[in-house]
Amino acid sequence: MESPRDINIQISSGTIVKGLFFVLLAWLLFVLKDLVLVVLTAVVIASAAEPPTQWFIRRGISRVFSVVVVYLVLAAILAGVVYTFIPLLLRDTSSFLSSVPTYIDKVSLWNPFGEGVADSSKVVATNFADGITQSKMAIQSTTQDSSIQSIIDTIDDTLSRVSEGFVQTASSIFGGILGFVLIAVLSFYLAVQEDGVEKFLRIVTPLSRERYILDLWKRTQKKIGLWMQGQLVLALLVGVLVFLGLTVLGIKNALLFAALAALLEIIPLFGPIIAAIPAVASAYSDGGASVGLLVVGLYLIIHQFENHLIYPLVVTKIVGVPPILVILSLLVGFKLAGFLGIVLSVPASVILVEMLDDVARRKTSHS
């Protein structure tokens, strides 16, 4: 009978130190996750600003001035959208939500949940519409009276009316005012610096993996920047087409439905379908089945135009990420980090696809 063998497991002090280091690093990342999200978002925005910055640089303009121009143009666009479209959008939103109880009554035969759910939906829609109306009136009064004191008073009055959930929503979207400012400042700093993102990666990357990480980033940086530009172009085109089509058909609240269609373009496959539902319901309620079918046809035409022309040229060929992976990354990103998670989800998918391609190439080369 053989004597049992002694099994000796030896763990070196270096292994223990490395294990403790990774545990400490994971703990720090968890504690500082908000700051990590801010930094990563700044990196993505700086990457998105790189293509237009290079366009100015190729025309003999200095990098600093090019970045300043890009950020000023972006700020001007955002300010113009807020000043011009937000009051109109709030008006359409308030009008649509005020009509939701009527829509629910007209489609009550399709309601599989019973009258209780329909009644509660009416109450929620009515309360939400009242809140939107108050916000709209506050913004309109702000734009009509330009004195500093009146603006301050209006802002204070508006904030006092806003529901408690608004603070939580703003916090989840921007991580607070400080987080928003940090994102803007860090992204600007990284964009101004020559190879600013690469320098940042050299600081946080182990020396043994530095070459691969930098090569991976150079391959994905261009895709990330072009994806964000392509997504903006796609959203703008779809929003304009939906607005023009609904306006021609005489559908109320066309601006709201167009903004919803543009916003949901970030979700492949299902985004346009979700965006079409309220527009079709509104058209059916106001004009009957014939108008509802016309709106369905409009969205189908735009969807086909998008799938066969815009999306393949603008997004798929640039990024090369399967739509199902984009959807999963959006869901995971939103679950883990809210709005910032959505911003980071597609860039993370691009990096993941590039890494998987590298693994596949290594397997092929060794086979």
The predicted-structure confidence for 291-342, as pLDDT tens digits, reads as follows 889 999 998 988 888 777 766 665 555 556 677 777 788 888 888 877 778 7
pLDDT band at 155 (very low <50, low <70, confident <90, very high): very low
> Rounded to an integer, what distance in angstroms lies between the CA atom of residue 236 and that of residue 246?
15
Task: With a cut of 50, say whether residue 117 has pLDDT above it.
Answer: no
> Rounded to an integer, what distance in angstroms lies between the CA atom of residue 188 and that of residue 47?
10
- Per-residue model confidence (pLDDT) at position 12: 67
Domain annotation covers residue 191 = yes
Domain annotation covers residue 239 = yes
- Hey, is 102 helix, strand or coil? helix
Mean pLDDT of all residues in 61-72: 89
Alpha-carbon dihedral angle through residues 235, 241, 242, 243, given to the nearest 10 degrees = 100
- Per-residue model confidence (pLDDT) at position 100: 63
Domain annotation covers residue 22 = no
Mean pLDDT of all residues in 96-117: 56
- Per-residue model confidence (pLDDT) at position 109: 47
Q: Which residues have C-beta within 8 Å of that of residue 276, sequence separation ≥ 6?
A: 261, 295, 296, 299
Q: Which domain holds residue 361?
A: 206-367
pTM of the model: 0.62
Domain annotation covers residue 270 = yes
In this structure, the answer to whether residues 312 and 172 fall within a common structural domain is no
- Per-residue model confidence (pLDDT) at position 19: 77
In this structure, the answer to whether residues 256 and 110 fall within a common structural domain is no
In this structure, the answer to whether residues 51 and 71 fall within a common structural domain is yes
Q: Which residues have C-beta within 8 Å of that of residue 237, sequence separation ≥ 6?
A: 306, 310
Domain annotation covers residue 1 = no
Task: With a cut of 70, say whether residue 6 has pLDDT above it.
Answer: no
Domain annotation covers residue 2 = no
Which of the listed residues 204, 234, 268 is the one where a domain comes to its end? 204
Which of the listed residues 178, 204, 230 is the one where a domain comes to its end? 204
In this structure, the answer to whether residues 90 and 127 fall within a common structural domain is yes
Q: What is the DSSP letter of 12?
A: -
In this structure, the answer to whether residues 294 and 359 fall within a common structural domain is yes
In this structure, the answer to whether residues 210 and 330 fall within a common structural domain is yes
In this structure, the answer to whether residues 315 and 224 fall within a common structural domain is yes
In this structure, the answer to whether residues 198 and 221 fall within a common structural domain is no
Residue-wise pLDDT tens digits, 242-285: 999 999 988 888 888 888 888 888 776 677 888 888 888 888 87
Distances (CA, A) of 99 to 81, 114, 137, 142, 259: 26, 20, 19, 27, 18
In this structure, the answer to whether residues 117 and 216 fall within a common structural domain is no
Mean pLDDT of all residues in 342-366: 80
Least confident of 37-46, 95-104, 146-155, 251-260: 146-155
Q: What is the pLDDT of the chain when averaged over all its residues? A: 73
In this structure, the answer to whether residues 200 and 210 fall within a common structural domain is no
Can you list the pairs that 253-256 forms with residues at least 24 positions away whose Cβ atoms lie under 8 Å? Answer: 253/92, 253/93, 253/95, 253/96, 253/282, 254/92, 255/85, 255/88, 255/89, 255/92, 256/89, 256/92, 256/93, 256/96
Task: With a cut of 60, say whether residue 89 has pLDDT above it.
Answer: yes
Domain annotation covers residue 21 = no
In this structure, the answer to whether residues 136 and 210 fall within a common structural domain is no
Least confident of 11-20, 54-63, 65-74, 297-306: 11-20
Which of the listed residues 170, 204, 238 is the one where a domain comes to its end? 204
Task: With a cut of 80, say whether residue 133 has pLDDT above it.
Answer: no
Domain annotation covers residue 237 = yes
Half-sphere exposure for 19 (CA within 13 Å, toward CB): 6
- Per-residue model confidence (pLDDT) at position 159: 46
Structural domains of the chain, count: 2
- Per-residue model confidence (pLDDT) at position 78: 78
In this structure, the answer to whether residues 251 and 355 fall within a common structural domain is yes
